[in-house]
Structure 1
Amino acid sequence: MNDKKKSVIKNRRNPGSKKTSNTNPRPDTRPLKTIKSETKAKPKSKQSKTKPVILPDPLPKKKKKSNGFVKKFFRTILLIIIFLMATAFAVNAFFLGNVTSDLKGNLSKYGISSEAANFAKQHKIVNVAVFGVDGRDDVEGDRTDTIMIATADYEHSKVKVASLMRDTYVYIDKKYEYDKLNAAYAYGGPDLALKTINQNFDTTITDYVTIDFNAMVSMVNAVGGVTIDIETDEELEWVNEYLMDVNEKVETGSPFLEETGPQTVDGSQALAYCRVRYVGDGDFDRTLRQRVVFEQVLSKALDLDLQEQYNLVMATLPYVETSLSTLEMLKYGANLALMPSKDIEQSRFPTDDLISLDMLDGVSYVVPNTLAENIEAFYQFVYETDYTPSDTALEISDEIKTAVKGTSNSSGSDVEELSY
C-alpha cells in the first residue's frame, strides 16, 4: 500500500485528527466574550430559542394594559361626575332645602297659621322683615319708621321688596287689640311686630333685621351713595329741614342740597330724604322714597366684591339687630350673589286699589279694603301664585271691615294726617 492510500486510511480511522486539522483553516471569528456568555448562559439560550414561539403572547399583554388604562380613565371621569353631582345636590339641600326649616313646632308664638305654613313649605322662598327704627335717645320707645318684607325668591331667581304702610289698621293682640301697624314694635319689639305682620298678612316670617339711623347712614356711604330725585322746591326744603336733625343726632356734617332733580347723595342726606312725610301723598310717597333708597343699597351691595361686602357688613353690624345666625346670613347671601339677575322688584301693601283712608276715634288710619284681598295680592307678588287666606286672616279682615263700615273716605286730602 503506497503512502498516499495509507494517509487516507489513517485519516478515516482518526476523525478527530481531521477536525483538528480543520480548526486552523476555519478559525472562529466570534469574540471570546460572546462565546463565554453563551456558554455560561446555556440554560437561557434554550429560552431564547423559544422566544419566536412566545412572541405573540407579550403583544396581547400590552393591549390589555392599554385597555386597562382606558377603563381606569373613564372610571375616574365617571367618579368625578358623580362627585360633582353629589356635591351640587348637597349644596342645594344645604342652601335651599331648609329655607323653611323654622316652620315647624309651635308656630303660635309667631302668629303663623297652619294654612300659611303648609303653603310656604312647598316653596323655596325666604321672607325677612326689615324694621327701620328711630332709635334716638330723645325719642321715647322705638317707632318703626320703615316696615318692609325682603324676599329672596329662589324659585324665580328674584329679589323683592314689599313696603307695609306703617299706619295700616291691624289687629295686634288681645291686650292692644286694633292699632297702627308700627305701634306693634313700640309695644312689644320685633317679636310682637313679627306676630302682627303674620296674623294680618297671613305670612310665615320668623326672622327680622332691625336697623337704626346710624345703620342707614353707614350703609349708603359704604356703597358710594345713592341717587334720589327731588321733584319740587317744597320737597327740597323739607329734606334740608330733616338733614339738620340727622346731622345733629348722627353727628355728621353733610351739606344742604341746593337744587331739585336727580342727584347723588350721601348717607345722611339719603336718610333725611327717607324721613320726609309732609310732601305729596304723605306716607304713600314716604314709603316710596324708602324703597328707592333701600333698593339701591341692596342692589349695589350685591355687586360689591367680597372685600367690599365684608366692609359693608362690618360698618353696619354695630347698628343692626337680627334674629339671623351668621350661617344663615352666609347661606342666603351666597345664593343671592349667585342669582343671574340683580334687579329688584318692589311693591307696597295695602295696594292702591285695595285701600281706604278712614278716621277712627279721631285718628287717621290706612285701612285695607279688604284685608283678605290684600293678602291675595301679596301672595301673587311674593309667590307668584294663588293663595286662599287662612280662617284667622279672614276673621280679622271681617272685623276690620265691620269696624270701619260707613266711615270710608278715599279723599286724598286726608293722606297728610296719617303720620304722627
Structure 2
Amino acid sequence: MSSNKNKTPEKQLKTIKIWKRIVTTFEVIFGIILIAAMVILFVPNVKAEIIKGMATTPIGQKIISWFGSEAYVHSVFDSNFDNTKLKTNELKYNYSQEYTTFVLFGVDSREGEVEASNSDSILVVNIHNTTGEVKMVSIYRDTMLGIYDADGNLNKYFKVNSAYAAGGPEAAINTLNKNLDLDIQDYVTVNFAGVAEIIDKLGGITVNLTDDELSQLNFHLLGTANAMGKYATPVKKSGKNIKLNGLQATTYCRIRKATFYDPDTGDRVSDDFGRAARQRSVMMKLVEKAKSAGITELQSMVQTVMNDDKAGDRIISTSFTFDEIVNLIPVIFDFKLNGSQGFPSQLTTGTYDGTSYVVARGLSNNVSELHKFLYGEENYQPTDNVVAVENYVAGYTGVTSGSDGYNPIESGKTTSNEETTATVDNTDYDYDDKGQSDFY
C-alpha cells in the first residue's frame, strides 16, 4: 500500500495542487448556485427565463421532474381519464403537429362535487406550437347541441354545458369534437372556488369596473362568500384598474346582468355572453400575473394547488401528464393572445319546451368560421355529422342560417364620444355606462 510518507515531495505537491483545484471548482460551482438562487429569488423575469431554459433541455426537464412530478400526479393529474373513449368525426385535416388544442372547463363548487357539476364555462384554447400564439373561444354554455356520452354515443339534444355533469370530461370532449369537428384530446378543469385562492396567492387582479358591475358584484358577493365559507369585503368603488381579491374576482366572473366592456377593444358584451367574456378576461389576467410573479408568490400558489389532493375537490384537474406540461413551459412563458371570441358567432336565443337556449344560425357556417379563426382554414367544409346536428336543431327550433339573429358583441369604439372616452381613458373615475347596461 502506498501512502503520503512514501511519496516524494514533488508527488505530494502535485496531489495538493489537484485537491486545491477540486476544492476551488466546488467553491466556484457553489458560488454560481448561490448567485443563481439570488437571481431567481429577486429577479422574476430572469427566473422565468431560467425555468423556460431548463424546460428546453433534457437535464433541465429532469431537474424539474425531481421537484414536481410526484406531487403533480397526486394532486392535479387525472389518472382516471380514459382517452381511448374520445371520439372524433372523420376529419380531413389534422392540426395536431402544428397546434396544441385543449379545452378548459370551469366548474362551480357551489353546485356540489366537481365531477357532478355542469361546466360553468367552456373555453377552447388553441396554441400554435411554433409561434406561441394563443387563441381562445368561449363555447356559450346554453348552446343547443347534440350531447354525447363518455363512450361517444349521442344521447339527446340539450345545453352543451350538461355534458360534463352527465359523463365527465370524456363526455364533454366528445360533445365538442362531434358537434364542432374538433380533435380535442386533453382538458383542464378549474374549480372556481380554487381560482379565488390562486388569485389571492398572486396578490389579486385589477379590472375596469362599471357602476352596474359594482352593484352586481357586491349584490352577489355575500352568496359567494357563504358558499365558500369566507368573509366578504365589498368593493368600494367603480373605475379603471380596480383591484379585486380572489373572492371578489370570482364573483365578478359570475356577473350576467351588467354589460362587460372589453378593456382592449372597447366592445360591449351583454347578458351571459358578457359573463363568458369576463371569464376569458380574468383567465388571461391570471396567466399574465403568474408569468410576472415572484418566486414566493409562485411557490405559495403551487402549494395551494398541490395541497388539495382530494379528487372531488381539486382546484385543478387535467389529463396532461407532467412531462407534457413541462414541454409546454416555453410556450406558456412566450405566449401572446392573438384573439378571442365566442361560439356560435352567428346566433339567436329562444325558449323551447320551457328551456332557454342559444341557437346557432346555421351550425355548419359557424363551424366553418370557428376553423378559420382557430386554424386559418379558409372555406372549411364541415363533416356530415355536423350537418346532421344542424338539421335536427333547425327542425326543432325553426332557426336556420337565414333566420334573424344578432351579434352579442357591440363595438364600443363607434359610440358617442363620452362612451369612447370611458373605454380608453386611463384615469380613475366613475365608470358609468349611462344606462347602456341591462342592469338598468
Q: Give the aligned partner of residue 184 of structure 2.
A: 205
Alignment pair present for 1:143 and 2:118: yes
Q: Which has the higher contact order (CA 8 A, sep 6+)?
A: 2
Q: CA deviation at 1:306?
A: 6.1
Alignment pair present for 1:374 and 2:366: yes
Q: CA deviation at 1:242?
A: 1.9
Identity of aligned residues (%): 27
Q: 1:249 is aligned with what amino acid?
A: A
Alignment pair present for 1:324 and 2:282: no
Q: Distance in 1 between matches of 2:84 and 2:371?
A: 21
Q: CA deviation at 1:224?
A: 2.2
Give the structure-2-normalised TM-score.
0.63
Native 8 Å contact 1:299 1:344 kept in 2: no
Alignment pair present for 1:134 and 2:112: no
Unmatched 5+ residue regions in structure 1?
Answer: 1-87, 95-105, 414-420
Q: Give the aligned partner of residue 385 of structure 1.
A: 377
The structure richer in helix per residue is 1
Q: CA deviation at 1:296?
A: 0.6
Structure 1 segment 217-232 matched on structure 2, within 5 A:
217-232=196-211
Q: CA deviation at 1:406?
A: 5.8
Native 8 Å contact 2:143 2:359 kept in 1: yes
| CA separation of 1:312 and 1:406: change in aligned 2, threshold 3 A | closer
Q: CA deviation at 1:388?
A: 2.3
Structure 1 segment 286-297 matched on structure 2, within 5 A:
286-297=275-286
Q: Distance in 2 between matches of 1:364 and 1:290?
A: 21
Structure 1 segment 183-202 matched on structure 2, within 5 A:
183-202=162-181
Q: Give the aligned partner of residue 238 of structure 1.
A: 216
Native 8 Å contact 1:134 1:142 kept in 2: yes
| CA separation of 1:214 and 1:344: change in aligned 2, threshold 3 A | farther
| CA separation of 1:296 and 1:406: change in aligned 2, threshold 3 A | closer
Aligned residues, how many? Answer: 307
Native 8 Å contact 1:357 1:411 kept in 2: no
CA deviation string 1:290-331 (max 9, x = no partner): 111011111222334666545433323421111111111111
Query: CA RMSD, aligned part only?
Result: 3.0
Alignment pair present for 1:115 and 2:91: yes
Structure 1 segment 172-187 matched on structure 2, within 5 A:
172-173=147-148, 176-187=155-166
Unmatched 5+ residue regions in structure 2?
Answer: 1-54, 62-81, 260-269, 309-314, 409-440
Instruction: Tell me the SS of whatever aligns to 2:137.
Output: strand
CA deviation string 1:137-191 (max 9, x = no partner): 6689412111111222124321222111000010013563100011111111111
Alignment pair present for 1:355 and 2:330: no
Q: Distance in 1 between matches of 2:225 and 2:364?
A: 42
| CA separation of 1:406 and 1:193: change in aligned 2, threshold 3 A | closer
| CA separation of 1:375 and 1:232: change in aligned 2, threshold 3 A | same
Give the structure-1-normalised TM-score.
0.66
Alignment pair present for 1:394 and 2:416: no
Q: Give the aligned partner of residue 142 of structure 2.
A: 167
Q: Distance in 2 between matches of 1:175 and 1:113?
A: 13
